[in-house]
């Protein structure tokens, strides 16, 4: 009986060392846009796997966790939901999504913030910027055309007066 208990303890202990050897870790890289205000990053993988634990970190410091549907957020994180984070600073962050089912999987997404002015990200601002120079160019072209027509008319009128005086 004692040898069965020893074998069982040995087997259970060994399983703790063998199971992590079969853990799958997948790493990907993703960029997110940093605007002048808040910075949003999201992972489609994490959104599709809401039952998995999510650990957000920046420079090896934990900034947020989403465990068992409970969000916990620390600066620079100001808002957290499954697979999404809102930051007050544009920092590089890593999301580790850990799923435990038949076997343990870890999916790491490294987010790199890219700074862009708001006007380049929001196409509404870009459209307005292009409209005003176009309108100004059309007004200038019409003014130049009218000026040329006026000059041509005056020149033609002066030539007519000169030819009438010479007769």
Q: Examine the domain organization and report whether 103 and 55 are in the same domain.
A: yes
Q: What is the pLDDT of residues 48-71, one digit of tens each?
A: 999 999 999 999 999 999 998 899
Looking at the domain assignment, is residue 27 inside a domain? yes
DSSP label at residue 133: H
Q: What is the pTM of this model?
A: 0.57
CB atoms within 10 A of CB 86: 17
Distance (Å, whole) CA 116 – CA 31: 12
Cα within 13 Å of Cα(134), Cβ side: 6
Residue 99's domain is classified under what CATH number?
A: 2.60.40.10
Residues 80 and 149 in one domain: no
CB 108 within 8 A of CB 42: no
Look up the domain containing 155 and give its range: 122-167
Q: Is residue 154 part of a domain?
A: yes
- pLDDT 10s digits, 144-165: 888 888 777 777 667 666 666 6
pLDDT at 3 over 50: no
Q: Is position 101 within any domain?
A: yes
Structural domain contains residue 31: yes
Same-domain status, 70 and 127: no
- Residue 105: C-alpha distances to residues 2, 42, 54, 63, 135 (Å): 36, 19, 12, 21, 58
pLDDT tens for 14-54 read 444 444 445 678 999 999 988 878 899 999 999 999 999 99
Same domain, 90 and 149: no
Beta-bridge partners for 61: 58
Give residues with Cβ within 8 angstroms of 45, minimum separation 6: 83, 97, 107, 109
In a domain, 6, yes or no: no
Do 75 and 152 lie in one domain? The reply is: no
Residue 122 banded pLDDT, cuts 50, 70, 90: low
pLDDT value of residue 68: 85
Domain membership flag for residue 17: no
User: For the chain, how many structural domains are there in total?
Assistant: 2
Alpha-carbon Rg for the chain in angstroms = 35
């Amino acid at each position: 009986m004692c040898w069965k208990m020893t074998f069982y303890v040995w087997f259970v202990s060994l399983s703790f060392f063998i199971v992590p050897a079969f853990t799958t870790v997948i790493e990907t890289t993703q960029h997110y846009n940093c605007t002048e205000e808040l910075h949003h990053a999201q992972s489609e993988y994490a959104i599709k796997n809401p039952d998995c634990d999510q650990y957000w970190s920046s420079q090896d410091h934990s900034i947020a966790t989403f465990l068992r549907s409970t969000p916990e957020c620390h600066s620079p994180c100001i808002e957290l939901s499954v697979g999404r984070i809102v930051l007050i600073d544009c920092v590089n962050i890593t999301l580790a999504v850990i799923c435990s089912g038949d076997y343990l999987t870890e999916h790491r997404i490294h987010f790199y913030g890219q700074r862009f002015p708001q006007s380049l990200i929001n196409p509404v601002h870009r459209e307005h910027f292009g409209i005003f120079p176009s309108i100004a160019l059309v007004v200038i072209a019409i003014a130049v055309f009218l000026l040329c027509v006026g000059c041509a008319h005056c020149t033609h009128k002066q030539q007519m007066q000169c030819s009438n005086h010479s007769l």
